[in-house]
A and B are shown apart, each in its own frame.
Chain A
Amino acid sequence: MKGGAATTRISPEAQQARALQAKLDELHRMHLDGRSVSGARTNQRQVGTDARQLGLNRPDLQYTLDGKRYYVGAILLLLVVGACE
């Protein structure tokens, strides 16, 4: 692999994986703080709060937070991490 300590470029896949993990960590913290977090799924078909399939698309992350269903794609995940750094 090319690059070394002076090279900080991270592949889009690695950035996306890191962003996804950051979002999962955030949800985990909210869960431990008493918020209602359930039905977290990564890269699976879109379903509603009742588990009914809503489409064939596969959001990077979907979850139910305090009774509302959220769907997150790669671009949004990167924005989440960017805002944290």
Chain B
Amino acid sequence: MVDRTDERYLLDGAWFPVTHGITFLAADAATCADVLVSWRGRATTELTGGVLRTRRVEGTLPELLGTLLPLRTAYVTRYLMLPTAGARWTAMLDNSWRGSEAISDAAGMAAQPGGMRGVGVVDSPQTFDRRTRTGWWGARGVAVFDPDPSATWGVRGSSVKVQVSDTGRRWELTEPDEEWPLPDPLDRTARRTQDTFSRASLLRVADSLGIRLHDEGFYAPDGWGVLVELVGGRGVPGRERTLAQAQANEFPEDD
């Protein structure tokens, strides 16, 4: 039996950290874009004076991801909705230089009027070196949230995650609570914290939901997506980053 613990990442990691977190939404791309604009539009306009606009973009997967550039440090200004094979899910990514906050975005989209099931997936290799303080903190996690108007936040669901602590010394586990809607994903016999939710477990959960996380052919099978972008206004806090700067964890001296 082949244990799916391979170290492969989407596009071989070439678009990390953009692909660090992906939110999968159970609706078509246009609907997802509309819900996102109704969710984030008013607050974005109040803060920046600009508006969120949607437009269709076309190309290969790397070209579509390229429409998110440049990346930003403090405030997201672009979101990309990608249809997926089988049309069950729309994948949502954004231009945060650390990758999207997929788990909280899944809850946010599910909680909106007209919202849908949201699955947030985070999957990053552990490359952080605590001596040089370079690289990225390893993390993997899954969240599943469903709309539920009777729930406190208008959403019901839970998440499971392991991630490297800020010091880089240890892994920390966030266990799913009673609202986790799938079979227990944890190996409670594992000796190391990071092995209680292994990459194999992450891929099993994704597979069970029909999500082919690291398969390039899964995303934008017809070569198009919907870009939601901030247009006009007074500008936003933070700085631009190129993909290379983000990958190098680079901080210019004038920052």
Contact = CB atoms under 8 A, between A and B. Distances in A.
Interface of A: 28-29, 31-39, 41, 44-45, 47, 49-53, 64, 66-69
Given A50-B239, A66-B75, A45 B167 contact: yes
B56 interface: no
A41 B42 CA distance: 26
Contact of A64 (B42, B43, B74): B74
A69 B73 CA distance: 11
B44 A31 contact: no
A66 B165 CA distance: 25
B238 A38 contact: no
A37 to B, nearest CB: 7
Contacts of B98: 39, 51
Interface of B: 39-44, 47, 73-76, 96-98, 101, 104, 107-108, 111-112, 133, 153-155, 165-167, 236-239, 249, 251, 255
B74 A32 contact: no
A43 to B, nearest CB: 9
Given A50-B255, A53-B133, A67-B236, 13 more contacts: A31-B104, A32-B153, A34-B44, A36-B75, A41-B166, A44-B166, A45-B166, A45-B167, A49-B237, A50-B239, A52-B255, A67-B74, A69-B74
B73 A50 contact: yes
Given A66-B237, A67-B75, A67-B236, A36 B43 contact: yes
Top 3 closest A-B pairs, CB basis? Answer: A67-B237, A34-B43, A49-B74
B212 to A, nearest CB: 27
Nearest to A29: B153
26 contacts: A28-B153, A29-B153, A31-B104, A32-B107, A32-B112, A32-B153, A32-B155, A34-B43, A34-B44, A36-B40, A36-B43, A36-B47, A36-B75, A38-B101, A38-B104, A41-B166, A45-B166, A49-B237, A51-B98, A51-B249, A53-B133, A64-B74, A66-B43, A66-B75, A66-B237, A67-B47
